[in-house]
Amino acid sequence: MSIKPPILRPGATVGIVTLGSPLRADIIDARIRTLEEMGFRVVLGNYVYAADGFLAGTDRERASDFMMMIEDPDVDLILPVRGGVGVAGILPYLDYNAIARNPKIVTGYSDITVLLNALYQITGLITFHSLLLISFTAAEPAYNFNQFFEATSVEAAVRPITNPPGMPLIGRVPGNVTGPIVGGNLRSLTDTLGTPYEIDTRDKILLLEETHEPINAVYRMINQLKLAGKFRDCLGIVMGECTGCEVAYGKTYDDLITEFIVPLGKPLLTNLASGHGYYKAAIPIGAVVRLDAAAGELTVVETVVSSS
């Protein structure tokens, strides 16, 4: 049984946390100003500006910031500044019972993927593969904000997930399946294998996207998921973009999909605007969706936030 976080309302309080890699203070401050100009109240974690090499504080420190936002009754949305690396390090230090008792909207992509899926798998909380704090800038396309707010601020029983105009979803293997959607960043998901937070794809629809990896490295990660049974167990597959991924040995990302994903025979949609791409669809991790590959459609078929 999934847990739906309370709906995001105008003037809500946003808890800012840095859960992986650090980000420059001037960038954080500029994005906070954008949030405030949009009418949100902002609360900062104790380690938002921390920086220790490639991590923003210790695992325990970053986890304590997340739990502070969970336990603050005024916080409605927990918004990580970025992903980077290291988000998996906080997972052992989270209080999942407290999270289940105090559901909040948690959003992000990139390395935040591991948190989104762990929260859903352990507590049943629906999370959102969507915007990070770095996304809150005037340069961000309106599509991304529309997707985010339609997902978090509207209690709708059915919501089509559509790409922006001129960027169609492409069905590559026909089929019509319905189930919870999980996944996100390919490298982050691969890194969970063999851990207590290994992604569970049984009877799920699996979403994958990646950025700035050579195609031979993308192949290795896809093959590792295959050997771990993640494609065998899933109902269907949604492939997002592989932004900035380098052609390797003459092979492209589309070649990998054609040669290694299509033969799996699972209903398959490709070309979803997601994660690291310029356009970012809002995907509710853990929510039941319908994947109709023949029609090129992906539809959320349950409410994902609660107004009660």
Q: SS3 for 112?
A: helix
Residue 198 in tokens: 């290994």
* Residue pair 129/275 in contact by the 8 Å Cβ criterion: yes
Q: Encode pLDDT of 2-13 as tens digits.
A: 999 999 999 999
Direct distance between the N- and C-terminal alpha carbons of the chain, in angstroms, rounded to an integer:
17
Whole-number Å distance between alpha carbons of 155 and 146: 14
Write down all domains in the chain, each with its CATH number in brackets: 13-152 (3.40.50.10740), 159-300 (3.50.30.60)
* Residues 268-306: b if buried by 16+ CB within 10 A, e if exposed: bbbbbbbbbbebbbbbbbbbbbbbbbeebbbbbebbbbe
Of the candidates 61, 209, 213, 241, the residue annotated as catalytic is 209
DSSP 28: H
Which helix (H) or strand (E) segment is 173 a member of? Answer: strand 170-173
Question: 138 exposed, middle or buried (CB, 10 Å; 0-12, 13-18, 19+)?
Answer: exposed
| Average pLDDT score over the chain | 97
Which listed residue (21, 188, 213, 276) is catalytic? 276
Residue whose C-alpha is closest to residue 67's, from 26, 97, 38, 36: 97
Distance CA(12)–CA(213), nearest Å, equals 37
145-177 pLDDT per residue, tens = 999 999 999 999 999 999 999 999 999 999 999
The whole-model pTM stands at 0.97
Catalytic residue selected from 21, 64, 110, 188: 110
Nearest partner of 285 among 225, 199, 214, 219, judged by Cα? 199
pLDDT digits (tens, 9 = 90+) for 20-63: 999 999 999 999 999 999 999 999 999 999 999 999 999 999 99
Q: Is 212 a catalytic residue?
A: no
Tell me the C-alpha distance between 231 and 165, whole Å.
30
How far is the C-alpha of 32 from the C-alpha of 130, rounded, in Å?
17
